[in-house]
Structures are given as C-alpha cells and as structure tokens.
Amino acid sequence: MDSSESSKLTHFDAAGQAHMVNVGHKGATARVAVAEGLIRMHRQALACVAQKTAHKGDVLAVARVAAIQGAKQTSALIPLCHLVALTHVAVDFSIDEAAGAVRCQVRAETVGPTGVEMEALTGVQVALLTIYDMCKSLDRHMLIDGVRLMHKQGGQRGDHAADASERNDHAV
C-alpha cells in the first residue's frame, strides 16, 4: 500500500502508521448495529441443537451468553477498536432446517461518539464459534458463513441497510 492509499484510510496517519482514530471531537449520539451469520451442519447435529440434546448442553443458551460477552470484549480483540459502552446487546437464533443451519443475529446499541458495527459482528462470530465448539463432536465439517452487517443507524455517515440480494462475493 502506498502512502496516498493509506492517507485515505482512517486507521492510518499521513505517514502510513496505524493509529486509533480520535473520536474525542464527536458528539454522543444513539447508535445501533445489527449483524448476522450462520453455521451450516449435518441434519443430525442441527437436530441436537434444536432439541437441546447435545452432549455439552443447551448450545444456543451458551452461544447467546458468548455473543454478549464477545460484543463486550470487542476492543480487546480488534486492535484499533474503541472501548464502547454498550447500552444493549440482543441475540436471536433461528433454526433453518432447509439450509441445515443455525442463523444468529446480534443487535448492539450505544450512545456515544463511535458506532457499534464491530461489536455486533464480533458477537455473531463468537456465538457461531461457540456453536462450532459445542457441536464439533457431532460434525467436524461445519461451515461458518454469511457473516455481515445488516443494518447500522446513527453517526455522521448515517443509516445503512444491506440489500437482501447482496452477496459476499466482493472482488479482491
């Protein structure tokens, strides 16, 4: 990456050095982000999750707590993220039998100078990894897929909603 490219990125200074963005001048506003993703697994494993009969216990109950904890720990995991005072984290799961998957959606909220997209995305990933960990004895071929930001509200860039037809096939 040359210096002209790095100067366009907010997490790099004019010399191309990584830094945490200064949000001290921004006012506190209400911010919301919703992220989702899914984990695909064999039908037998999915049935154990749905029926709460997995050997390690109620998979979705543990994954819900893990998602909340993951959202709360985002700044410790992602190097340049700000510590965000979350005001609310909600986690929803749905069983999609046709796709052979558990879908996870995390909604993160705060009132502050920076958004909560990373907290919502981290919450989803940690929930899905927890499901993987608790079900790996049932299925070693699970696939975490489709993790993305679905909606964000607040901040100077305004609201954003993912188009239902958007796919994760961005060119590199």
Burial of 112 per CB tally in 10 Å (0-12, 13-18, 19+): buried
SS3 of residue 117 by DSSP: helix
- In sequence order, what are the beta bridge partners of 143? 40
CB proximity list for 144: less than 8 A, separation 6 or greater: 37, 38, 39, 125, 128, 129, 132
Q: Which of 2, 58, 92, 133 is catalytic?
A: 133
- Reported as type and span, the H/E element at residue 90 is strand 86-96
Active site residue 133: yes
First to last CA, the chain: 14
Residues tagged active-site: 133
